[in-house]
Amino acid sequence: MKIYLNGNFVEKDQAVVSVFDHGLLYGDGVFEGIRSYNSLVFKLDEHIGRLYETMHTLMIRCPLSKEGMAQAVVDTLKANNLKDAYIRLIVTRGEGDLGLDPKKCFDKPNVIIITDKITLYPEALYNNGMEIITVSTVRNHPEAINPQLKSLNYLNNILAKIEAGNAGYAEAIMLDHRGFVAECTGDNIFIIKKGEIRTPSQGILKGITRQCVLDIAGELSIPATECLMTRHEVYIADECFLTGTAAEIIPVVKVDGRVIGDGKPGPMTKQIMDKFHTATLTQGTKY
């Protein structure tokens, strides 16, 4: 496996960065998870756009332009001969002296691109739907670490994932600081009620798959709204599903012990899954 590291391709065991990298020392860096299907990178510009927005706020100056980054992604996929891949982009603050201050770094961010595979949930869950719970770990307050920042500081979600795992569940709903439904640990959440699609509007990572589902809803003339959402609304929904680059679209059939709809993946969820699947195979950056 060849890893892109600062403009070079290096073998996996040689792809190393310093223990003084502030990404390791402080979680000071950004990342993206992207997929390619059948030699098409899905929503590449959107993922790179979000990466550069996070870097803008964190004031990380990437040595590559957005176009250069897109080219590097494609080159890495080609170097590894991968048609279907999971792509992990990482830009760290780079090496520096000890101490939080980014000024201690030498203004040389490390740029890493890994192309590999990822499976998040077993296939059966996509057919039968999954059961999730709400965990007590509250999603980051937007004025602390804004959930829109896809930074290397993912402990908020990891703590929630641990809580879910301890309780025997693969995924969990996180509430925001006010108690409204925010999102899951690595996925956005949607409900369908009386033919309308709803998804939380705030305190979330604005998922690219989420936007794709909102676009699909538009194409299918299904009304879709981004709104505040309570757990009660989730419990009484007709259908529920999660979206994410890694998870794609996965139906949810039980939440906190409450059966959703008739306890099976719903017809509209299946229709959206179908459309999404087609989009992944037909749209994207060719390589």
Using DSSP's 3-state secondary structure scheme, residue 143 falls into coil
* Closest distance of CB 19 from ligand PXG, Å: 23
Catalytic-role residue among 150, 161, 254, 270: 150
Q: Which of 207, 251, 265, 266 binds ligand PXG (CB under 6 A)?
A: 207
CA distances from 238 to 198, 218, 229, 241 (A): 11, 19, 15, 11
Using CB under 6 A as the binding rule, whether residue 131 contacts ligand PXG is answered as no
- Tallying the residues shown for the chain, one arrives at 287
Using CB under 6 A as the binding rule, whether residue 210 contacts ligand PXG is answered as yes
Name residue 238's amino acid.
D
| Region at 39 (left for phi over 0; alpha for psi -120 to 50; beta for the rest) | left
| Region at 279 (left for phi over 0; alpha for psi -120 to 50; beta for the rest) | alpha
Using CB under 6 A as the binding rule, whether residue 243 contacts ligand PXG is answered as yes
150 noted as active-site residue: yes
Pairing of strands 258-259, 248-255: antiparallel
Q: Which of 112, 114, 208, 268 binds ligand PXG (CB under 6 A)?
A: 208
Binding to ligand PXG in span 185-204, by CB under 6 A: 186-188
User: What whole-number distance in Å separates Cα of residue 136 and Cα of residue 164?
Assistant: 10
**Nearer of residues 105 and 213 to ligand PXG, judged by Cβ:** 213
Using CB under 6 A as the binding rule, whether residue 245 contacts ligand PXG is answered as yes
User: What whole-number distance in Å separates Cα of residue 103 and Cα of residue 108?
Assistant: 11
**Nearer of residues 20 and 37 to ligand PXG, judged by Cβ:** 37
Largest interatomic CA distance in the chain: 57
**Nearer of residues 111 and 212 to ligand PXG, judged by Cβ:** 212
Describe the crossing of helices 267-282 and 208-219 by its angle, rounded to 10 degrees. 110
Q: Which of 15, 62, 222, 246 binds ligand PXG (CB under 6 A)?
A: 246
Interface with ligand PXG by CB under 6 A: which range of 52-60, 93-101, 208-216, 269-277? 208-216
Q: Which of 137, 157, 269, 280 binds ligand PXG (CB under 6 A)?
A: 157
Catalytic residues: 150
**Site residues for ligand PXG per CB under 6 A:** 33, 157, 183, 186-188, 205, 207-210, 243-246
